[in-house]
Amino acid sequence: MMELGSPLEMIQLLQTPWEERFKICLSLVKLLFYLAHSPLGSIVLLDFQPRQFVMVDGNLKVTDMDDASTEELSCKEDNDCTLEFPTKSFPLKCSAIGKCEGINEKKNLFNAYRYFFTYLLPHSAPAALRPFLSDILNATGDLRYGINETLEAFEKVLHLYKSGLYLQKRPLHLKDFISLKGFRTVEGEDYKCWPSYSHLGCLLSVHSAEEAARICNSQLQCQSFIITQRRTWTGRPLALFQSSLTDLIPDANSVVYIKRSASSGERL
């Protein structure tokens, strides 16, 4: 029995927004948490490779369980419990029942670190979250964290991101914009930014209009933006950034934010 879904393409994933890559890593951590605490005992994935996973409705799942095992390495002393990887090894403890303590959980976790976390977590992450992500990378790369601590650390980052608490106090940028309530702009091909949710223009996840204003001020091409009705999996809205004022369309639920410097040369 195999799980059907979209195969993981790491190069393609590196081109997706950080928020989507974080979701994949969080899905993997939740999966490993389940495997570590399953009713069958701690389960190890013996062939832990990206090709063993698929995406199903935006969540990461294992394609099959043929290479899974609940057997933990038997031992007589601690020296029998070295967890070996090509570039690192980790000494573990031999338990009173003659099993290497936590070896399945730790093997899964280090494989998650070397195949997923190192590639998907740090790149283009919000600057204020990078110290927290570095802690996760360091602690899982050294196996100082178990799966419980790793899940707790991921959920902390998720809370900071969804709540906007990660945003550092900065000068207000929204004051540089004029707001036109009851209008929206025509969505069409415009300047590109990375990593955008649209290949036609610059469509980014934001916490608020203030964060969108900061992003717009940091981009030379940006002259206006709107907060769309679309939401990401975290519930954050998507903001569309534009390089010029297009035709305004009446829309009671929308607001167009226009740079004051741009509006001075346009007739509104």
Q: Report the CATH fold assignment for 174-264.
A: Hepatocyte Growth Factor (3.50.4)
pTM score, whole prediction: 0.89
Q: Where in the chain is the domain with CATH 1.10.510.10?
A: 6-166
> One of 47, 66, 80, 142 is an active-site residue; which one?
47
The per-residue DSSP string of the chain comes to -----EEP-HHHHTTS-HHHHHHHHHHHHHHHHHHHT-TT---EESS--GGGEEEETTEEEES--TTEE----B-SSGGG-EEE-SS-EEE-PBPTTSBBTTHHHHHHHHHHIIIIIHHHSSTT--GGGHHHHHHHHHHHHTT-S-HHHHHHHHHHHHHHHHHTTTSPP----GGGEEEEEEEEEPP------TT-S-SSSEEEE-SSHHHHHHHHHH-TT--EEEEEEEE-TTSPEEEEEESS---EEEEEEEEEEEEHHHHTTS--
CATH 3.50.4.10 placement within the chain: 174-264
80 classed as catalytic: no
Please say if the pLDDT value at position 266 is more than 60: no
Domain 6-166 has CATH 1.10.510.10: yes
pLDDT, one tens digit per residue, over 39-95 is 999 999 988 888 888 888 778 888 877 788 988 899 999 999 999 999 899 999 999
